[in-house]
Structure 1
């Protein structure tokens, strides 16, 4: 963008207020010594000329000089001798002197047809009067130095200019100082007499804009010296104001201590308030009315503003526009062809014009379109105008929305699409805009798509919806749980001739599996003949689909290089080139295939990118996946934090039927950490019924079942696990790696004493484990199987389970299994090994942020492994009964291998008290150390959990 520099004073020769006052004071000294001077003060718009002259007037009066002052006005520029009359009547001089001057001045309005007056500003009979007037002024200065100050000389009438010119020619030996101020307007050519008067002043003062140092000094000298970080804010003041003195002072007013408590925005940034806004308007209205018009043209055209284009927009000559632009640039309101700060642009755009604003923006859109501007710039003007001039504008709005989405500017995309939709009415273009709005809504707020779904449904039923426009509709159906309709539409598109050209179709298939657990593919010939048989077999997945990055492919066919490469390929793409469900599936494929580090790396990369782009839906889905991955490794705190973040990123309506994913993970984590009240509150949340038609509903049932087990609601847990299993079998997605419902049901059967049924369930689960993700699932299953097995067989099963769980890096399940091993050792009488393993289990549990590790079978040996107990208590039992209740609780925990500190924390007593109890226990039981404590302690009725 070009810079409109003008001919005139070199900005590099400008000076500050202090230097200018020094120049004027020096000139006054010369005048007092009998060397008359004429000083010309020029400066840009609101550069402080008037303030400077007022301050110098006070200095002159203090020095004993007579000060005559006048100010030019646009309204009085045709008033003959108007400036001279102001000079004579501006100061209290003797009545005789006033009368003498008045006889020489004839104030009247110049006649428009008085060509002599208009050309020279002076009638022939006024020459003698002006000569006498000059002589009278010089005579006045003999007794006392005289300072004549005229502000805004460019508005002076010609007769007054002639009088000043007469005086200038006679200043050489007079005690007179004439100070004139005029605007520094590029390209402006005034009357000849004004030009002659200003051509050769004795001194020239050019006021420039304020530097950062000058602004800092101004702040420190003002009443705002206690403004927080005043020095640090000087650069911000300079940036906002362009160094314009009027705007700087307005910023000081806006940031006065009285309003410090009401400051808005970031700390360290000045507040831009009413004073600044009014100052901007004052600047633009102070000179030529065309100045405000050109500023508005700049704000409307923005980056495309040129003198020619602004001229066409405002019906002005380009030369005139260039002059106005130069004025704005010198005043600091313009920088590199644009309004110098967004705040100034906002003030200009906010000036109410009503229909004129609409007309300007609408015309600007047409001009930009004709000049080949990008669609986003055209759409910006159309949105500001709030109207669409023609079909070309609809195309521009659609293209602008695509460009905005590519630049991750969702707000601009929505504004363009909404305007296009309003302008389209009920026409065919309206469907395109609706489909696009549904697509955009998924990036920030999926529930915002709801108003557009029914019209798209209606158009689909009438056969008016293109395949590409059906894609966002299908995605909405998937999330809202309408599986049947989504599957029908998806298969319809997949079998159509447009399938290969439909953008987003592969992603929809993966999204279908993420939500429903299986890909939705076109039916095979066999399934077409027998739908029931097809449902029993599940969706058709041919060899060509075995390398798709989906979990069902992984579980059915195992890990392959092609599968992992496909997942990596998806994750390496740009964030908005795919949909969140596709990336979620790719992450889970890597994670379930045992590539934890890769999955966590890509999860962090995508999460950072989603945060940078402020994409709530992406952030929510990725947080949900992160919670699931953390839960699978026993990191309960991280799993809970990620799940809560996912729920907070999107409203429950936006989650739709998929809300079960983060909610179930959070319930499991809270339950595992023993926070049952928190888990109960989560379960009180109302979830859509459609949740239970999705995979997230399976996870929800599984999580609720484990919560019920933890709080001893065994029958409720039984119902949830059985319902979960029935649904998985009905949908033909009965993969233990997806939801190990048989393991949960087996644990419930153990609680009910049904050991045989539990063993059968977990054996079936082990038989169904696929070729991948086997280590963790098999390890968890072996732990449950051990609990349903005879005592002597448990140890080997549990040892194998620990090996597998350590291999899969699941610390929570490892802790649980180690705890079961400790129970087995204790039941077999190996107390030393029991304590050793218990300590390790406690350490693993702490690493998972929990102390709640419930063994599956505690305190009792299965009946087939026990001998009949005598009716009378044994000697050991009698000794245990002799202990007090407090001693028995301490002894029991000690027998399980807990340290004194752990016992104290569990029983809420001090370590010293624990030691005292143990001393008495050892004496009563006649033992020397913990290893000698009788096994009867673990079979006592004392209510102590290990």
Structure 2
């Protein structure tokens, strides 16, 4: 029933005063059921009808004040100043004597001679003992005077003494029970602050414990008895929806947001201690330590390290970083500091490479230090330092790490470091198979090794670049759809686990795979997403990888304004000493050709040629700069330098002659047309085009359309980019 509906029942009580009779009513209900609103509305209506209304509200905070409620009632009475001062003086004495009762009852009876008197008292369970004693006597006056007493109480009641309620039970009275109404969690604490403090403590404990909340733990954290917890849960169950005696996560969060900061921190610290004593999982205890912002005692440092280890095992690098950083901030011994720092750096490489590089100086000597030094050197593009650090990784326990970092070294710098061919370790053998792709071309053996590594590796444990190379091996080996499928898995897993660096890398790989398959719009979207996910300064020299792919995709989609912005960004100078730098220069040269800037194109492509030759990184299968350099020279009317034919892996003589259909597809692909454009030109399906290209790649021993030899370009036709004109999101 509404507030107005309940007031209608109370209005009937005033009718009895016309006959010189009094009435009593009790409005009872759970927290948030609208008791105070009903009382306030009735008081307003009674005053408008001409009654003398004396109102007071009880509160847990005012309960220790003797006669506090009686004082509230009298201060609202229309009494002479002298009478009021005399009564206040008697109440202040705090003595339970019959004189006070007679004085108070006499005043009320005198007031009721001219008009009805209405007394409203909210939350009587918190009335102070002295006021309850006095008001019990007033209730008895309603038998013979036009006095209406309306009280409210909150159920269930935790108050130890409830004198007024006991007095009511001796008299005939109107009982109005209000139906429970849901209370928004964000306003729950505000409603509870005038209630029993023990209920407030139970609510806060429940919110902090969350999914771990049970009556025993709640009582221990709130420092109350089991009976109080049970009664408090009864109060809450009628006001807020509970799920198995627990707050819903959103409600718990809203309540915690309303807690004072110091109380919240204290509760979190104590919750960690309680859960630790009861054998909760390290990650559960660590959540509370992290929320408190400080370790409780020495035992909590061990919990944080255990939680970090558990988080790393399950791929939650962000949680591992937070736990380990708090360990260091709390202050640990020297050896423990080194151990924690090493674990922290391993986690940081997955979420914040820049922070990992900056912590390099915090390491002592050791194998972890060497592995970290390799990663830092690779990130900075320092080939000599990376090679030297790899040479110091001699501990057999770090063999797998060393093998993986050697493959990453080759991916970054384009050359392999010496390794033992007699190593029979299956993982090392698979990595060696991948390492042959740059120098010897793709092969079935490399494809099998790539699949094995992708199935056996794990995001967060396997070096991310190794998984990236495995995917690209499948792409170059004529398995673009398998490569695309693996990209989707790796991108999804790294995103789910909050590993920003691997997530960005796998997006960049997916972009290259999409570009290779002719899905240029998708390639542009994913390359841009990779760059947006990780700040430019966090990529190190690897920034050239997504930038090159983005440039090639934007040019292929004829989005030259976007490509101009991409080409105008700053890149680290050391990037040019890597394959990423060469690929970026080649891609920027192709942009300048498409934008009709042949002089700028010539500068980039000549620099690409010089670096490739001087650094012995000339890998046409990965960076096919020759035909574009020739086109730049032709447009400028320059006589091109005679370049030796590109030594494409296994491509000196085709393994088998191309069929007429394969040659037509190869010519269009060499011009940069997408698979869909080729299918529309030749009136065949996209699937047929893909099958022909796969056969062409295998026969010529090349990895992609960009690597098709110039001999497959139609005569007198300049090398140009694809003429596709599409927007992001439209299939290529």
Same fold judged by TM-score > 0.5?
A: yes
Partner residue in 2 for 1:692: 576
Residue 515 (str. 1) matches residue 392 (str. 2): no
Aligned residue for 1:550, secondary structure, equals helix
Contact 1:811-1:848 within 8 A present in 2 as well: no
Shift of 1:60: 1.8
Residue 287 (str. 1) matches residue 271 (str. 2): no
Partner residue in 1 for 2:36: 50
Aligned length: 692
Shift of 1:419: 1.1
Q: Tell me the C-alpha RMSD between the 2 structures.
A: 5.0
Contact 1:38-1:179 within 8 A present in 2 as well: yes
Partner residue in 1 for 2:286: 379
Partner residue in 1 for 2:301: 394
Residue 345 (str. 1) matches residue 345 (str. 2): no
Greater Cα offset, 152-161 or 670-679: 670-679
Partner residue in 2 for 1:648: 532
Contact 2:667-2:714 within 8 A present in 1 as well: no
Partner residue in 1 for 2:685: none
Partner residue in 2 for 1:259: none
For 2:509 and 2:206, how far apart are their aligned partners in 1? Answer: 48
Normalised to the residue count of structure 1, the TM-score between the two structures is 0.61
Question: 1:550-699 alignment to 2 at 5 Å?
Answer: 550=434, 552-553=436-437, 556=440, 558-560=442-444, 563-564=447-448, 566-567=450-451, 570=454, 575-670=459-554, 682-699=566-583
For 2:68 and 2:551, how far apart are their aligned partners in 1? Answer: 87
Contact 1:239-1:341 within 8 A present in 2 as well: no
Question: Which residue, 343, 351, 367 being the options, matches 1:444?
Answer: 351
Partner residue in 1 for 2:319: 412
Question: Which residue, 466, 476, 496 being the options, matches 2:376?
Answer: 476
Partner residue in 2 for 1:924: none
Change (3 A) 1:622 1:44: same
For 1:677 and 1:193, how far apart are their aligned partners in 2? Answer: 81
Change (3 A) 1:203 1:405: farther
For 1:571 and 1:518, how far apart are their aligned partners in 2? Answer: 26
Question: Which residue, 97, 107, 111 being the options, matches 2:91?
Answer: 107
Shift of 1:152: 3.8
Q: Which ranges in structure 2 are unaligned for 5 or more consecutive residues?
A: 672-688, 698-703, 728-732
Shift of 1:345: 0.7
For 2:418 and 2:530, how far apart are their aligned partners in 1? Answer: 30
Question: Which residue, 22, 39, 43 being the options, matches 2:8?
Answer: 22
Residues 487-540 of structure 1 deviation map (CA, whole Å, 9 limit, x = unaligned): 3444543x423146x6x5554344333323355453579xxxxxxxxxxxxx99
Residues 205-252 of structure 1 deviation map (CA, whole Å, 9 limit, x = unaligned): 3445534xxxxxxxxxxxxxxxxxxxxxxxxxx6544xxxxx3xxxxx
Contact 2:60-2:195 within 8 A present in 1 as well: no
Shift of 1:582: 2.5
Question: 1:133-532 alignment to 2 at 5 Å?
Answer: 144-156=115-127, 158=129, 160-166=131-137, 168-169=139-140, 171=142, 175-184=146-155, 186-190=157-161, 192=163, 194-198=165-169, 202-207=173-178, 209-211=180-182, 239-241=184-186, 247=187, 282-290=190-198, 293-298=201-206, 300-305=208-213, 308-309=216-217, 312-313=220-221, 319=227, 327=235, 332=240, 336-338=245-247, 340-348=251-259, 350-352=260-262, 361-405=268-312, 409-425=316-332, 427-456=334-363, 459-460=364-365, 465-467=366-368, 470-493=370-393, 495-499=394-398, 504=401, 507-520=404-417, 522=419
Greater Cα offset, 761-770 or 510-519: 761-770
Shift of 1:416: 1.3
Shift of 1:715: 5.9
Shift of 1:592: 0.8
Contact 1:743-1:762 within 8 A present in 2 as well: no
Change (3 A) 1:736 1:352: same
For 1:46 and 1:496, how far apart are their aligned partners in 2? Answer: 67
Aligned residue for 1:847, secondary structure, equals coil
Residue 712 (str. 1) matches residue 712 (str. 2): no
For 1:506 and 1:765, how far apart are their aligned partners in 2? Answer: 24
Change (3 A) 1:564 1:133: same
For 1:50 and 1:595, how far apart are their aligned partners in 2? Answer: 72
For 1:648 and 1:410, how far apart are their aligned partners in 2? Answer: 20
Contact 2:269-2:292 within 8 A present in 1 as well: yes
For 1:541 and 1:572, how far apart are their aligned partners in 2? Answer: 14
Partner residue in 1 for 2:682: none
Partner residue in 1 for 2:23: 37
Shift of 1:402: 3.4
Aligned residue for 2:181, secondary structure, equals coil
Residues 805-824 of structure 1 deviation map (CA, whole Å, 9 limit, x = unaligned): 5966988999x999845x58
Partner residue in 1 for 2:624: 740
For 2:714 and 2:87, how far apart are their aligned partners in 1? Answer: 120
Question: Which residue, 62, 70, 80 being the options, matches 2:48?
Answer: 62
Aligned residue for 2:396, secondary structure, equals coil
Aligned residue for 2:598, secondary structure, equals coil
Normalised to the residue count of structure 2, the TM-score between the two structures is 0.77
Shift of 1:417: 1.2
Contact 1:69-1:86 within 8 A present in 2 as well: yes
Shift of 1:475: 2.6
For 1:105 and 1:359, how far apart are their aligned partners in 2? Answer: 43
Shift of 1:360: 5.3
Aligned residue for 2:645, secondary structure, equals helix
Q: Which ranges in structure 1 are unaligned for 5 or more consecutive residues?
A: 1-14, 112-116, 118-122, 212-237, 242-246, 248-279, 526-538, 785-800, 825-837, 851-946
Question: 1:809-888 alignment to 2 at 5 Å?
Answer: 820=714, 845-847=722-724
Contact 2:408-2:465 within 8 A present in 1 as well: yes
Partner residue in 2 for 1:792: none
Higher relative contact order (CA 8 A, sep 6+): 2
Contact 1:667-1:679 within 8 A present in 2 as well: yes
